[in-house]
């Protein structure tokens, strides 16, 4: 079997998860080289790695480089990766709206990989989780309008966010004042309807606007009407989303369940009378997005609307798994 040399820039929560997924999926790795801000030796998932500084001269001999670091680092090193002849799969927001860069979830729009010029962008985690469940319905009935409310885990703010939530629970039990640094407010026993900066023109946050802009690009639906409210919740690492969907054609809950039951990357969990519905606890650590609470929108007088609830692992489905699947599809399509 042919193998591929893989670079990884960044060893935070997402970078660590990428290494785990590469192993789990038996990705045909040759050499795996981890890069970060400085040279050091570090144990990651029980194995020793000699981490090298990420510089413009780092990527010779690499076939695929996964970026799990900051936006400015991705921008700084993009040309060096492409010049070295490697494919760059970037998890930051740096290139998501660049018209020359495909923004991809393989189950949604793998064909967009064919026009890559060396760089492929990973969408925002909430967009990736949403589109796993929404794209199959859009392909069948053409989505016209979507209203989303997202319930986003602490891990969406990276390792510091996850650590802060865990520390707050520990401090509360020990009777200590709660430390608040990673988020604007205490997260334990609280909800924070504020993720990323506010746009002063419309007072949506950048996180909420990402959902609209990225969904339009990936679905090739520039006129798609989408509004989102993003909320940080005291959950470890799985995002959930409440979705109200309007289609151009009639669609029933039964049709939606049938479509989603045949869709890769989605598992229908829709037995509410017996407690069967998507929950972040059940999505955590799983590859599939859980979809349920599928019902006709009773605010309408036609059958063009549905309501649905989804949950997906933020670090996996929303980041690391998607990046590795992009790499797998590049190989499958003979693009690397």
Per residue in 36-63, pLDDT tens? 999 999 999 999 999 999 999 999 999 9
Band of residue 74 on the pLDDT scale cut at 50, 70, 90? very high
Q: Does residue 270 surpass a pLDDT of 90?
A: yes
pLDDT score, position 258 = 98
In angstroms, rounded to a whole number, what is the distance separating the alpha carbons of residues 55 and 90?
Answer: 16
Percent of the chain with pLDDT over 90: 98
Task: For the chain, give every domain's residue range.
Answer: 4-123+319-332, 127-313
Q: If you average pLDDT over residues 205-232, what whole number do you get? A: 98
Q: If you average pLDDT over residues 240-268, what whole number do you get? A: 98
Residue-wise pLDDT for 79-138, tens only, equals 999 999 999 999 999 999 999 999 999 999 999 999 999 999 999 999 999 999 999 999
Average pLDDT value over all residues in the chain? 97
Strands (E), 248-304: 266-268, 289-296
Q: Which residues of 248-273 are buried (b: 16+ CB within 10 A; e: fewer)?
A: eeebebebbeebbeebebbbbbbeee
Q: Does residue 219 surpass a pLDDT of 90?
A: yes
Among the listed residues 138, 228, 239, 329, the single catalytic one is: 239
Catalytic residue list contains 239: yes
pLDDT score, position 169 = 97
pLDDT score, position 183 = 96
Q: Does residue 159 surpass a pLDDT of 90?
A: no
Q: What's this model's pTM, rounded to 2 decimal places? A: 0.95
Residue-wise pLDDT for 113-130, tens only, equals 999 999 999 999 999 999
Among the listed residues 50, 125, 138, 220, the single catalytic one is: 125
Percent of the chain with pLDDT over 70: 100
Tokens 């069948």 correspond to 140
DSSP string, 171-232: HHHTTPPPP--SSSS--TT--B---S-B-TTT--BHHHHHHHHHHHHHHT-TT-EEEEEEEE
Q: Does residue 13 surpass a pLDDT of 90?
A: no
Strands (E), the chain: 4-9, 29-36, 40-44, 47-53, 64-67, 87-90, 119-121, 143-152, 225-232, 238-247, 266-268, 289-296, 305-313
Catalytic residue list contains 220: no
- Which CATH superfamily, name and number, covers 4-123+319-332? NAD(P)-binding Rossmann-like Domain (3.40.50.720)
Q: If you average pLDDT over residues 184-212, what whole number do you get? A: 97
Q: Does residue 3 surpass a pLDDT of 90?
A: yes
Band of residue 69 on the pLDDT scale cut at 50, 70, 90? confident
User: Which architecture characterizes domain 127-313 according to CATH?
Assistant: 2-Layer Sandwich (3.30)
């Amino acid at each position: 079997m042919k193998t591929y040399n893989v670079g990884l820039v960044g060893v935070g929560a997402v970078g660590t998860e990428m290494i785990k997924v590469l192993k789990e999926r038996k990705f045909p790795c040759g050499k795996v080289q981890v890069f970060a801000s400085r040279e050091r030796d570090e144990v990651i998932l029980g194995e020793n790695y000699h981490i090298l500084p990420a510089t413009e001269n780092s990527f010779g001999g690499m076939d695929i480089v996964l970026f799990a670091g900051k936006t400015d680092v991705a921008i700084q090193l993009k040309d060096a990766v492409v010049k070295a002849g490697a494919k760059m799969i970037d998890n930051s927001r740096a290139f998501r709206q660049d018209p020359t860069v495909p923004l991809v979830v393989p189950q949604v729009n793998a064909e967009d990989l064919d026009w890559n010029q060396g760089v492929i962008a990973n969408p925002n985690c909430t967009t990736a989780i949403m589109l796993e469940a929404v794209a199959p319905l859009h392909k069948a009935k053409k989505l016209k309008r979507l209203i989303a409310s997202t319930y986003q885990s602490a891990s969406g703010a990276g390792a510091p966010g996850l650590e802060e939530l865990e520390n707050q629970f520990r401090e509360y039990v020990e009777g200590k004042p709660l430390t608040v640094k990673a988020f604007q407010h205490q997260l334990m026993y609280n909800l924070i309807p504020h993720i990323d900066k506010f746009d002063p023109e419309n007072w949506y946050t950048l996180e909420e606007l990402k959902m609209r802009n990225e969904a339009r690009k990936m679905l090739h639906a520039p006129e798609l009407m989408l509004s989102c409210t993003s909320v940080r919740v005291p959950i470890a690492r799985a995002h959930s989303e409440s979705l109200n969907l309007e289609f151009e054609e009639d669609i029933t809950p039964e049709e939606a369940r049938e479509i989603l039951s045949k869709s890769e990357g989605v598992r229908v969990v829709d037995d509410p009378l017996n407690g069967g519905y998507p929950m972040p606890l059940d999505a955590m650590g799983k590859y599939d997005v859980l979809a349920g609470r599928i019902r006709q929108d009773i605010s309408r007088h036609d059958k063009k609307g549905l309501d649905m609830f989804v949950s997906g692992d933020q670090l996996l489905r929303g980041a690391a798994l998607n990046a590795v699947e992009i790499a797998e599809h590049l190989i499958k399509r003979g693009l690397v």
